Structure 1
Amino acid sequence: MKESAENEVRQLYGRKLRLRVCGICLSNDRILMIRHSGVVENEDFWSPPGGGLQFGETAHEALIREFKEETNLEIEVGKLLFVNEFLGPPLHAIELFFQVNCLNNDMVRGYDPEMKNQIIEEIRWMTWKEIKAIKAQNLHRIFSLVNSFEEFSHLDNFLGQNHQ
């Protein structure tokens, strides 16, 4: 299953520049995280919720839609925290990270409607200690740039590229 999901991710998004929105959602000293399959070869990948913008959609609208699809949560989008560039051929993405507040507690593992082979394995609120226990290659690189959740608001506006 992971191999077919990996192939599908590379077919859909490989060799194309993709604009993504992501939400940093903190509550009770925990961050909302999603465990994906198919993003990292033969391994799981943890990252905050988010996804690609569709033509004619604002960044805020896209983030609200992505949270609803992936977690069933309704959100309020806050300020833009930072921009991250991911470059791990064949994938290339510019990611806009926003502060996010949840408006409900009806969290349910969702789906990615573009994917036939679903890649969302789990959604979970995680502590900083749980985040740091994950191997670096299985975790979004933004977590290697900070020492606490609070430091997200102090990152440079543009984090530059991340070659894998």
Structure 2
Amino acid sequence: MEKIRLRAAALIIENEAILLVEYNNDEEEGVHYNLPAGGVEPGETLVEAAIREAKEEASVEIEVGPVAFVYEYQPAKNHYIYGDVHSVGITFACKRKEGSVPRQPDRPDSHQTGVKWIPLAQLNSIRLYPEITQDILDYYAGGTYRNYIEEHEIQREKR
């Protein structure tokens, strides 16, 4: 039976900028960004995971709001580009708690190089994983947007 990894992410937008975690894998794709996110641990809810990941990756305290996106990566449908683990990520619209200032954590992941506010107007000029830039911009604009995203649809659009 195929196991599915559950992930939780925090979408934090303030003053037309989005809070992202910066990574640099020199040997692979170079500088890229992710929402504060990670796997749900045993005994933890998705909301608890979003809170913990925001704290661990961006040293920020958040209030978790409604689900903004559901993202699914199915390895066989994507030629295993991101490994062989089927994963489903729930991204919550979150707010930074007053007085909490995002910063690089004391013990970041070995490839993590920063925590940055990226203006939404510059979002198209960076490498964001998963590649949901347009979905985020559509969501922020308040109109219709794709709230369920399959990685193989992203890959099809890139071709």
Q: State how 1:65-84 maps to structure 2 within 5 Å.
A: 65-84=52-71
Q: State how 1:96-107 maps to structure 2 within 5 Å.
A: 96-103=90-97, 104-107=99-102
Q: 2:149 aligns with which of 114, 136, 159?
A: 159
Distance 1:18 1:39 in 2: 26
Whether the aligned pair in 2 keeps the contact of 1:85 and 1:160 (CA below 8 Å) is: yes
Distance 1:39 1:21 in 2: 26
Give how far 1:159 is off.
1.1
SS in 2 for 1:67: helix
Whether the aligned pair in 1 keeps the contact of 2:39 and 2:49 (CA below 8 Å) is: yes
Instruction: Name the structure 2 match of 1:27.
Output: 14
Give how far 1:83 is off.
0.6
SS in 2 for 1:57: coil
Give how far 1:106 is off.
2.4
Instruction: Name the structure 1 match of 2:78.
Output: none
Change in CA separation of 1:158 and 1:19 when aligned onto 2, cut-off 3 Å: same
Give how far 1:154 is off.
3.8
SS in 2 for 1:31: strand
Distance 1:39 1:62 in 2: 28
Q: 1:139 aligns with which of 128, 140, 143?
A: 128
Alignment partner of 1:94 is 2:88: yes
Give how far 1:94 is off.
1.4
1:91-110 alpha-carbon deviations (Å, 9 max, x no partner) = 54211110000003322202
Amino acid at match of 2:148: F
Whether the aligned pair in 2 keeps the contact of 1:32 and 1:125 (CA below 8 Å) is: yes
Range moving further from structure 2, 92-101 or 138-147: 138-147
What TM-score, normalized by structure 2, do the two folds share? 0.76
1:41-95 alpha-carbon deviations (Å, 9 max, x no partner) = 2422212111111011000111111111111111000001121113424154211
Unaligned runs of 5+ in 1: 1-15
The percent identity for this pair of structures is 26
Instruction: Name the structure 1 match of 2:116.
Output: 124
SS in 2 for 1:66: helix
What TM-score, normalized by structure 1, do the two folds share? 0.74
Amino acid at match of 1:80: V
Change in CA separation of 1:18 and 1:44 when aligned onto 2, cut-off 3 Å: farther
1:15-50 alpha-carbon deviations (Å, 9 max, x no partner) = x74221111101111110111234982422212111
Structure 1 segments of 4 or more deviating over 6 A? Answer: none
